[in-house]
Copies of this chain bind each other. A is one copy, B any other.
Amino acid sequence: MFSPIKNTKVYEQVIAQIKDMIDKGILKKGDKLPSERNLVQQLMVSRASIREALRALEVIGLIECRQGEGNYIKTSFQDNLFEPLSIMFMLEGSDPEAIWELRKIMEVEAAGLASKRITCEQLSQLKEITEKFMNCGDENINAEIDKQFHYKISECSGNVLIFNILKTVSTLVDHFIVDARKLILAHKENKEILFNQHNEIYLSMEKHSSAGARKAMREHLDFANKYMKKEN
Chain A residues near B (Cβ < 8 Å): 11-12, 15, 19, 22-23, 28-29, 48, 51-53, 55-62, 73, 77, 81, 83-85, 87-93, 95, 98-99, 101-102, 105-106, 109, 113, 159-162, 164-165, 169, 175
Contacts and interface: CB of A to CB of B under 8 A. Distances in A.
B102 A162 contact: yes
Contact residues of A: prevailing secondary structure: helix
Contact of A60 (B23, B84, B106, B113): B84
Contact of A87 (B22, B88, B95): B22
A73 to B, nearest CB: 7
A160 B95 CA distance: 9
A161 B94 CA distance: 11
B61 A84 contact: yes
B62 A87 contact: yes
12 contacts: A15-B59, A23-B175, A52-B52, A52-B55, A59-B60, A77-B92, A98-B161, A98-B162, A101-B113, A101-B161, A102-B162, A105-B162
A73 B92 contact: no
Contacts of A11: 55, 59
B161 A89 contact: yes
A83 B89 CA distance: 16
B84 A159 contact: no
Contact of A101 (B28, B91, B162): B162
Nearest to A88: B77
Central interface residue in A48, A84, A160, by most chain B CB within 10 Å: A84
A98 B159 contact: yes
A73 B85 contact: no
Contacts of A85: 81
